[in-house]
Amino acid sequence: MPYTIITDSSANLPDSYVERYGLSILSLEFIVDGVSYRGYTEGEITDNRQFYNMMREGKVVKTSLVSPKEAETVLRACFEAGNDALYLGFDSALSGTYEAVSAHMRTVQESEYPERKLRCVDTLAAALGEGQLVVEAAKRKLAGASLDELADWAEEQRLGFAHWFTVEDLNYLQRGGRLSKGAAFAATLLNIKPVLHVDVEGRLVPVEKVRGRKKSIQALFERYAKTAREPRAELPVYISHGDCLEDAQQLADLISSEYGATDVVINDLDPVIGAHAGPGTVALFFLTDEVR
């Protein structure tokens, strides 16, 4: 039976990947000065530089989950086209989107489309970490994996996608409740940059502190050097950034020059996640044989 992979705008995938793999995208939203914006609209490009400049100017950005109405519309379109559905959702420890969307879609499927199959998987992943898992799943779909086989694979392999990141300004993490106000102030004075990762429960966890931007980028590279799966020359590497392309490219160049990686995807950190991490965020995602 044919099926469609559905995921969220938080996966940060370039449009070319969405088109290549026939993905359906549910959009989270962000709100600035009382005006709500979609994080993703098919065929439209969000001006992320303008968004991050607004943050630098002190604009307060709020975020909103995928609406149940949008999830229902996308699911109905899928079922009416004769397809089953696999929903690969945004980390439930970081957002309520997965719980809300999966519950509503299950209700619609069970009550109105009992002949159709729906599987929902909490990816425990975010940004291009979520995106990388979705892409690897889509490749397996093209290779002939059934819906159930792919859902089982995603549940079994989701902790093999490592998430490491650093931020430029700790005040955004403080506003989001990830860091105390006092700690953010002291770290800013000392030019301390945290290195964080997403743990096995999908939570953001500080792992180390380094002084200065250059050392924080180097720290991400070192995490890759210590834990990336072999063979590294063939390993896909995904990097999200909050309007700091040069830093993202520097990290990519370090990995490529040292390990010969050629499959490197760099894309903007979407406004919904960027609202909590801030401009200057650099996030690195790769496959690992260690439990992240």
Q: pLDDT value at position 186? A: 39
Q: Does the model's pTM come out above 0.95?
A: no
CA distance 244 to 24: 28
CA distance 4 to 132: 17
CATH 3.40.50.10170 in the chain, residue ranges? 3-159
Nearest residue to 71 via CA among 43, 107, 45, 95: 107
Is residue 5 classed as helix, strand or coil in its secondary structure? strand
Q: pLDDT value at position 233? A: 95
Q: List all residues 6 or more positions away from 91 whose beta carbon is below 8 Å from its beta carbon.
A: 98, 122, 123, 124, 125, 126, 130, 198, 202
CATH 3.30.1180.10 in the chain, residue ranges? 160-287
CA distance 184 to 173: 8
Topology classification of domain 3-159: Rossmann fold (3.40.50)
55 close to 274: Cβ distance less than 8 angstroms:
yes
CA distance 193 to 134: 30
Question: Which token pair is 51?
Answer: 């968004």
Q: What proportions of the chain, in percent to the nearest 5, are helix, strand and coil?
A: 45, 25, 30
CA distance 84 to 3: 4
Alpha helices in 13-96 (DSSP H): 15-20, 48-56, 68-80
CA distance 59 to 35: 12
225 close to 231: Cβ distance less than 8 angstroms:
no
Q: pLDDT value at position 95? A: 93
- Residue that is written with structure tokens 């300004």 in the block: 169
Q: pLDDT value at position 194? A: 85
| Per-residue tens of pLDDT for the chain, all 292 residues | 899 999 999 999 999 999 999 999 999 999 999 999 999 998 888 789 999 999 999 998 999 999 999 999 999 999 999 999 999 999 999 999 999 999 999 999 999 999 999 999 999 999 999 999 999 999 999 999 999 999 999 999 999 999 999 998 777 766 655 454 444 333 443 467 889 999 999 998 888 889 889 999 999 999 999 999 999 999 999 999 999 999 999 999 999 999 999 999 999 999 999 998 999 999 999 999 986 7
105 close to 87: Cβ distance less than 8 angstroms:
yes
DSSP summary character for residue 232: G
Topology classification of domain 160-287: Hypothetical Protein Tm841; Chain: A;domain 3 (3.30.1180)
Cβ neighbours, 10 Å, residue 182: 9
